[in-house]
Structure 1
Amino acid sequence: MTGRDIHNTFIGVNLIPDNEEERLQKLKEYEILDTPQEGAFNHIAAMATHMFKVPIALISLVDADRVWFKANVGLEGVRSVPRGESLCSLAVLNSAPTIFQDAANEPCLLANPLVSGNFGLRFYAGAPLVTADGLNIGTMCLIDKQPREFTESDQKMLVNLASIVMDEIELRYLRRKVSKDSPE
C-alpha cells in the first residue's frame, strides 16, 4: 500500500465511495469547508449533546484527506482529523446511520487510534448528511467514551437532526448564491 492508500482505507474497508469525485465536487460547491463557526450549526450540535446525553456532538464534512468539523461540542479546539482515523469516513459510505455501541468490541475498530489510543472512543453514532441528489457529504455524529445503547427511536432522532443540518447547509448555500448573483 502507498501512503495515499493507507489514508483511503480503514482497517481493510475502502473509504472511497464509487461517487467520490461527484461527492467532493458537491461538497466544494457548498463553500462551507474552512469557514468560521456558525450559530445554527453550533446550536444543533449543542442540542444533540443534551438530547442524547453524550459529551461530544459533531457536524462533520468528509473532505478528500480529512474530516473537518463545522460544529464541535465537546472537542473544542479540534477542527479536523485525518480521514483514515475518523469513523465519519465509514458513516458516509452508508445511507443508514452507522452505530458502534461499544467500539472496543468491534474487530474492525481495534487498530483505530481513537478507539485503542488515549482518546478512548467507545460509542459512535453517525447519520449521513445527504444532499438533494443523494450524495453523503458528512455526518451528524455523537461520541462518548462510555459504551451506550442506541435505540431505533434514537436513530430516527439522529437522522432528523442530520436532515436539519442538511437543510441549514442548503439554506446557507442559497443565501450565498443569491448574494453573489444580485447586483450591488
Structure 2
Amino acid sequence: MKNNSFGMPIIPDNEEERLAKLRSLNLLDTYEENGTFKHIAAIASRMFNVPIALVNLVDRDFVVTKAQAGMDGITKVERGISLCSLSILRSEVTVFENAREEPCLLANPMVTGEFGLQFYAAAPLTTKDGFNIGAVCIVDKASRKFPESDQKMLESLAAVVMEEIEK
C-alpha cells in the first residue's frame, strides 16, 4: 500500500491471515453483486436516510465495492484513503459524526477534497472465525448524530451480508 492518509497504522496484526481468509471466500474477482448485497446497500441508504451506502471488502492495496447505492461507477478505492480501512481495525461500529473534526481524517482527501465526506459509519463484516474482511458503510456529505440504536441496525445489516457470504 502506497499511501496512508490517516497518520496512524491501518494494517491489523493478523493481516496475512485476514487476507488469506478474504481470498478463500472468492469474492474479490466477481463483479458487483446485483442480489442480496445490492439490496442491503439500498436498504441501508433508505433506512438511515443517507445518499451513499456501500458493501466493501478490504484487500491488500484497495477497498473493493461489492454493492453500492449512490456511488455509481466506483468499484475500488486506494486502501490508504478509504475509511473502511479504519473500520476493519475494530469489532464494533466505527462512527465519525463530523469527519472534519477528527484528527485522523484531517489529511484524508475524501474529507478535505471535492467529495466532501462529513459523516461515516461502518459495521465490520466479521467471519465466523473472527476476521474483519470488510464493512457495510453509510456516508453523508452532512454531519449527523448516529445513536447506538442506529449502530445496532447497521450491525444487523452487516450480519445479513456475512450470512450470505458464509452460506
TM-score, L = length of structure 1: 0.88
Could you list the runs of 5+ residues in structure 1 that have no partner in the other structure? 172-184
Distance 2:116 2:20 in 1: 34
Q: Which has the higher contact order (CA 8 A, sep 6+)?
A: 2
Higher relative helix content: 1
Q: Deviations over 1:16-38 (max 9, x none)?
A: 10000000000000100131222
Paired residue for 1:70? Answer: 66
Paired residue for 1:109? Answer: 105
Distance 1:140 1:97 in 2: 10
One of 56, 74, 87 as aligned partner of 2:52? 56
Distance 2:155 2:12 in 1: 20
Query: Does 2:7 align with 1:43?
Result: no
Distance 2:29 2:111 in 1: 26
TM-score, L = length of structure 2: 0.97
Paired residue for 2:121? Answer: 125
Distance 1:24 1:156 in 2: 26
Could you list the runs of 5+ residues in structure 2 that have no partner in the other structure? none
Q: Secondary structure at the match of 1:59?
A: strand
Contact 2:51/2:70, CA 8 A, preserved across alignment = yes
Aligned residues: 166
CA shift, 1:110, in A, is 1.0
Distance 1:11 1:85 in 2: 7
Q: Deviations over 1:40-69 (max 9, x none)?
A: 100010000010000000000000000000
Query: Does 2:16 align with 1:21?
Result: yes
Distance 1:11 1:37 in 2: 27
1:31 maps to a residue whose letter is N
1:12 maps to a residue whose letter is G
1:103 maps to a residue whose letter is A
Distance 1:153 1:122 in 2: 20
